[in-house]
Amino acid sequence: MCLNSSPLDLAEYWFLPLSFCKVIRTLISVVLRKSAWRGRIERRRSVSGLMGLCWSDRLKVEKPLYSASEFGSTDEFSSFSSKVSNASVPPTQRSEGEILKSSNVRSFAFNELKTATRNFRPDSIVGEGGFGAVFKGWVDEQTFAPAKPGTGIVIAVKKLNQEGFQGHKEWLAEVNYLGQLFHPNLVKLIGFCLEDEHRLLVYEFMPRGSLENHLFRRSSHFQPLSWILRVKVALEAAKGLAFLHSAEIKVIYRDFKASNVLLDSDYNAKLSDFGLAKDGPTGDRSHVSTRVMGTHGYAAPEYLATGHLTTKSDVYSFGVVLLELLSGRRAIDKNRPHGEHNLVEWARPYLLNKRKVFSIMDNRLDGQYARTEAQKVASLALQCLSRNSKFRPSMNQVVSSLAQLQNSRKK
């Protein structure tokens, strides 16, 4: 008799004692059950392995998860002050319903936004990226009902592409954070739409577009920023990060880059795109362990290596943007000569020598900057880019340094 026989095959052996058949049947059932579970486990391991491979490949060849959001702000929304709504910090473990109910923003119907953007016409698009497209629209200043173009107030409507990089989780994170956190240097979220398969976000419009456009695009629409404006933008972006890192808020931005810094009509800088933001460590914890996400060229080395996320990870990213402001070069640029693809690696030797700092300055500045100021900003960038996160300044210290620089001109 073969032990691989199924229980039904045992009927052929009627001459064996019934108790013995029961024992054999039980043994065979156990063996088959174990085999089935083993198969399931192996299949799960295979799927997990594939998922791990997919994520790791995605990180190794990381492209910006969201490219420039070129929407941009009328001054109607610029008068709000720094504050946090009733819940001082957006709690991590909350249901979707709790997040949407507690957010201090308006819930729009899909047809309202469809009308406000003229049926999402292609000529209404002001930005496009991995999340989908951003459309320009108009709503009534009081009721927020759709308005005719040129009337009411201007809004920017981000329409999530279901096949894009950004998904529902990131969409919800944006509502979670920007629906409760208010600061002059955070872009204002006016509302959202969650209807059937539609996921949309409604922001104040930022007419000057992104910092990325002004630094890297050669167009009559985006004039090169003067040195004074570059320091102003750096200071205001730093204030936005410092607010997020404050003891009351404890949020890590995780995706600070030039394309996520938007400029209003007066070149006031505001942080946008909170899809990757995370609550900071609590209690005695020094970091948050998370899957590595972000944009190649901006992420801190220790975060890439370990997945340990801290506020100092944001400080490193800020240092990269400071370098971009100084040099007019992208964090990663494959079109540059060999050895100059990675901005931080290329610039670090120049930052270590005060006399060589001027070799990396943006040619579009035409030398119109105070040399001592450039040296101080370069020194600050070097501190932010310290390989050891312990040696990086806090964002409050960064704000203090840049504010002193700005104030010294007024004396």
The burial class, CB within 10 Å (0-12 / 13-18 / 19+), for 394 is middle
Give the three-state DSSP class for 244.
Answer: helix
Pairing, β 181-182 against β 83-84: antiparallel
The total of other beta-carbon atoms located within 10 Å of residue 76's CB is 13
Tokens of 145: 């009902």
- Amino acid found at 183: H
| CA pair distance 24, 221, nearest whole angstrom | 82
Tokens of 361: 């300055």
- Amino acid found at 298: Y
Contacts of 2 (CB under 8 A, 6+ apart): none
Name the strand (E) or helix (H) holding 397. Answer: helix 395-408
Picking from 286, 174, 275, 186, the residue whose alpha carbon sits closest to that of residue 237 is: 186
CB 191 within 8 A of CB 337: no
Annotated catalytic residue within 123, 140, 255, 273: 255
| CA pair distance 38, 343, nearest whole angstrom | 49
SS3 content of the chain, % helix, strand, coil (to 5): 45, 15, 40
Pairing, β 106-107 against β 189-195: parallel
CA distances from 229 to 205, 206, 263, 268, 395 (A): 20, 16, 11, 9, 20
| CA pair distance 73, 94, nearest whole angstrom | 31
Q: What is the DSSP letter of 109?
A: P
- Residue by residue, DSSP assigns 278-312 as EE---TT---EE----S-TTTS-HHHHHH-EE-HH
- Count, in order, helices (H) and strands (E) of the chain: 11, 14
Instruction: Give me the phi and psi of 384, to 5 degrees please.
Output: -65, -30
Task: Determine whether the annotation assigns residue 159 to a binding site.
Answer: yes
> Is 255 part of the annotated catalytic residue set?
yes
Name the strand (E) or helix (H) holding 139. Answer: strand 132-139
Any idea which residues carry the catalytic annotation? Answer: 255
Residues contributing to the annotated binding site: 159
Residues contributing to the annotated binding site for ATP: 159
